[in-house]
Each structure stands twice: as structure tokens, then as C-alpha cells.
């Protein structure tokens, strides 16, 4: 308990809450994603060269200042777009840094719950922001989240310092391993890494379908009104709670002797095949409440991925988990671009039927689950 709730991990939970909350008031997704694509891999490399303290501090400072400056830039579209690109740059630096810090500070038998809490923290941030933002003046919402981020920066600098270089031979070897240059071919030449990338892609495909199209589907197909739309928050609450539960369950299995790889594969099977089955059957549901329950079940099962392939980064690349996550998360942004237009095209081509959309999502999940189950590894590679 002391290890995974130590200073760096507590701060990482808080920064993920802030990261998610900062996205709620206004989102130019395209511009933000451009910034994230540019900075994720650069940020992961920078961690090994400059340390997690500096890089995460710079990341949060960057997105906090851009968020606070958004009201001033709102009158000029180029300036507004610039603030959102800078926000994406900061967020792209932040997440790989958190993964690298977790790989360095969290032992294998406690990683599942740490990643579970981190993923849950993202949903907490979105929920808190969604509750408060509608009741605040829009200028204040940006300034508030920017100010809270700056407060976090001060707390981070005062309470966290990168571990000192150990004087013994083992400590020197560890530092050298973290800074060693790895050929770029290594990041794409191992099937165990590709199994993680593909699982992350599939997870995001389902999540983007739910996030972008669930309100539209409920209103047009099941006749949900504005009051009923508040039910769409339920799946994300379930996702947070289940993420923590899956994490504790996975670590418990490891503590009683289960191999780490078996636990990672089991959790990923739950996290991909469970939502895949729910989404495939979802078009057959004709009751609004049952539909929300099915999607909540899908999101609850999806939360198991935090104890599966997301935690697997620290297993296969303990010295470079930030870089492998950056590559994986960059690939996993593709569904955010494709899901919108492809879903619209499938619904139109099917004369308003949604079955092809959810069947495709289920098929992608099942395929990714099989690839991960057969090709994944927990043996350190990088």
C-alpha cells in the first residue's frame, strides 16, 4: 500500500484527473490530437534523458497555461486553435511520463491496481468537470482548471524528486539501461509489442463508438429525451469502479502465485471479448434502461484492460514503458479519426440499421483478443 500510494503515484492519479477535466470545457479534437501525436514519443524519450520530475512538470505547466489562456484567445480563431494544440502537446508529454514513472516505482505485483486507479482517475476528472462546468461561466471554467494545474505543479516540485543515482554497481547498470539507445526497429519488430498495440487500438475503437455515438443511438433508435441522456454518465461511473476492482483482483491473483502473463491475458480477454459480445448484441435491445445496463456492462468489462495490456507495457519494457505506451497510444488515436465518418457511412448504407457498426466493433475486439492471447509476453524485451 505504501509503494503504490507513494508520492509519485498519488501525483500521477491527480494529474490524470486534471488531464481529463481540462478536456471537458471545450474540445477541438483535431487540433488537440495533432499536438498529442507530435509530443508523445518525444516526451517518452525525454523522461530517460531529463527525468520524470522535469518532464511531467513541464507537461502540466504547458496544458495548464494553455487552458488558462483560452478565454483570452477565444476572440481570435488562430490563437484559439494554437492553445488547443499546446494543450495536446502537454497531454502528449504527460501520459507516457506517467507510464514510465509507474514502471520505475511500482513492483510487478502491485501494477494492476495502480493502473486501475490511474484509468479510474481519468473518468473521475471527466465526471467532476461535467458536473461543474455547466454551472460556471465559461471563462471561469478554463481559468479554474488552469489554476488548479498550476497548484499541482507547485506541489509536485515541492514533494517529488527523481530517485538519486545509486553508488553501487547495480545502480549504475540500472541507470545505463534506462538511457541506452534502442534501435527504432526494436519497437515494431516484436509480436509481443504489436499484440499490445493492437489490443489498445481495439479497446479505443469500442470506446470511441460508445463515446461519440451512444447519445445519438439512444435518442434516434430508443427515443431517449434530454432528461434520459443523463443516463449516459452511468457507464463511465461503472468503468471507474470496475477498473479499481479489476486491479485489486489481478494483483491478488499474482500474489497467490499466478504467472503475470496469465493474469495479463485473462484481464485482456475480459476487457476485449466482454465488450465485444455486449456491442454485438446491443442492437437487439429495445428498452432504454436495458440498453444503458448493457453498455454499462461493456464499460465495466473494458476496465479490465487497465490490468491487462495497459499494465503489460511495464512488464515487457520496464526501462522504456513510456515509449512503448506513446507508440501504442498514437496508433490508438486512429479510431478517434475513423469511427465518426465510418459509422455514419455504415448507418446510411444500411438504411438506418446500426447492426453493422456494433458488429464491426465486436469483430475488432474478438480479433485483437485472440492476437493478444497468442502473441503477448511478460518477459522484458527492452
Count of C-beta atoms within a 10 Å radius of residue 182 = 13
pLDDT at 11 > cutoff 80: no
Banded pLDDT at 134 (limits 50, 70, 90): low
Q: Per-residue pLDDT tens for 353-366?
A: 899 999 999 999 99
The confidence score (pLDDT) of residue 54 equals: 87
- pTM confidence score: 0.80
> String of b and e for 97-127 (b: at least 16 CB within 10 Å)?
bbbbbbbbbbebbbbbbbbbbbbbbbbbbbb
The confidence score (pLDDT) of residue 3 equals: 39
The confidence score (pLDDT) of residue 323 equals: 85
Rounded Cα distance between 304 and 300, Å, is 8
The confidence score (pLDDT) of residue 307 equals: 94
- C-beta separation of 57 from 65 below 8 A: no
pLDDT at 240 > cutoff 50: yes
Kindly write down the DSSP assignment for every residue of 312-345, as one continuous string: HHHHH-TTTHHHHHHHHHHHTTHHHHHHHHHHHH
Kindly write down the DSSP assignment for every residue of 45-63, as one continuous string: HHHHHH-HHHHHHHHHHHH
What is the mean predicted confidence (pLDDT) over 66-87?
87
Question: Which of 33-47, 114-128, 178-192, 368-382 ranks highest by mean pLDDT?
Answer: 368-382
The confidence score (pLDDT) of residue 224 equals: 76
What is the mean predicted confidence (pLDDT) over 337-349?
89
Q: 70-84, 116-130, 134-148: lowest mean pLDDT where? A: 116-130
Banded pLDDT at 90 (limits 50, 70, 90): confident
Alpha helices in 133-190 (DSSP H): 138-159, 169-179
What percent of the chain is predicted at pLDDT more than 90?
Answer: 34
Nearest to residue 98, comparing CAs of 84, 108, 85, 111?
Answer: 111
Rounded Cα distance between 275 and 239, Å, is 12
pLDDT at 115 > cutoff 70: yes
Rounded Cα distance between 91 and 174, Å, is 28
- Close Cβ partners of 54 (under 8 Å, ≥ 6 residues apart): none
- Close Cβ partners of 228 (under 8 Å, ≥ 6 residues apart): 218, 288
The confidence score (pLDDT) of residue 20 equals: 53
Banded pLDDT at 169 (limits 50, 70, 90): very low
- Phi-psi map region of 51: left, alpha, beta (phi>0 left; psi -120 to 50 alpha): left
Number of residues that this document lists for the chain: 382
Amino acid at each position: 500500500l505504501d509503494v503504490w500510494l507513494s508520492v509519485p503515484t498519488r501525483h500521477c492519479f491527480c494529474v490524470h484527473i486534471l488531464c481529463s477535466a481540462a478536456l471537458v470545457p471545450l474540445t477541438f479534437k483535431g487540433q488537440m490530437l495533432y499536438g498529442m501525436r507530435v509530443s508523445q514519443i518525444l516526451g517518452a524519450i525525454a523522461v530517460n534523458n531529463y527525468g520524470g520530475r522535469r518532464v511531467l512538470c513541464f507537461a502540466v505547466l504547458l496544458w495548464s497555461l494553455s487552458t488558462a489562456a483560452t478565454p483570452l484567445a477565444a476572440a481570435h480563431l488562430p490563437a484559439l486553435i494554437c492553445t488547443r494544440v499546446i494543450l495536446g502537446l502537454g497531454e502528449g508529454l504527460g501520459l507516457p511520463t506517467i507510464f514510465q514513472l509507474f514502471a520505475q516505482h511500482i513492483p510487478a505485483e502491485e501494477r494492476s491496481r495502480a493502473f486501475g486507479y490511474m484509468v479510474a482517475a481519468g473518468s473521475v476528472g471527466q465526471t467532476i468537470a461535467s458536473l461543474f462546468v455547466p454551472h460556471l461561466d465559461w471563462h471561469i471554467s478554463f481559468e479554474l482548471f488552469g489554476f488548479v494545474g498550476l497548484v499541482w505543479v507547485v506541489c509536485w516540485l515541492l514533494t517529488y524528486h527523481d530517485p538519486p543515482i545509486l553508488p553501487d554497481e547495480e545502480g549504475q547498470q540500472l541507470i545505463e539501461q534506462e538511457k541506452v539507445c534502442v534501435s527504432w526497429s526494436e519497437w515494431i519488430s516484436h509480436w509481443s509489442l504489436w499484440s499490445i498495440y493492437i489490443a489498445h487500438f481495439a479497446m479505443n475503437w469500442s470506446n470511441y463508438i460508445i463515446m461519440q455515438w451512444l447519445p445519438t443511438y439512444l435518442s434516434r433508435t430508443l427515443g431517449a429525451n434530454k432528461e434520459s441522456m443523463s443516463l449516459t454518465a452511468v457507464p463511465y461511473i461503472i468503468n471507474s469502479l470496475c477498473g479499481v476492482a479489476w486491479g485489486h483482483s489481478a494483483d491478488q491473483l499474482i500474489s497467490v502465485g499466478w504467472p503475470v502473463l496469465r493474469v495479463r491475458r485473462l484481464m485482456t480477454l475480459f476487457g476485449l471479448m466482454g465488450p465485444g459480445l455486449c456491442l454485438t448484441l446491443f442492437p437487439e435491445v429495445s428498452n432504454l434502461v436495458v440498453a444503458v445496463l448493457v453498455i454499462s456492462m461493456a464499460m465495466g468489462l473494458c476496465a479490465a484492460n487497465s490490468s491487462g495490456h495497459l499494465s503489460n507495457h511495464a512488464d515487457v519494457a520496464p526501462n522504456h514503458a513510456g515509449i512503448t505506451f506513446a507508440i501504442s497510444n498514437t496508433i490508438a488515436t486512429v479510431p478517434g479519426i475513423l469511427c465518426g465518418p465510418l459509422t455514419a457511412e455504415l448507418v446510411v448504407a444500411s438504411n438506418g440499421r446500426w447492426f453493422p457498426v456494433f458488429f464491426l466493433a465486436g469483430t475488432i475486439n474478438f480479433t485483437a483478443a485472440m492476437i493478444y492471447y497468442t502473441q503477448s509476453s511478460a518477459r522484458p524485451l527492452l
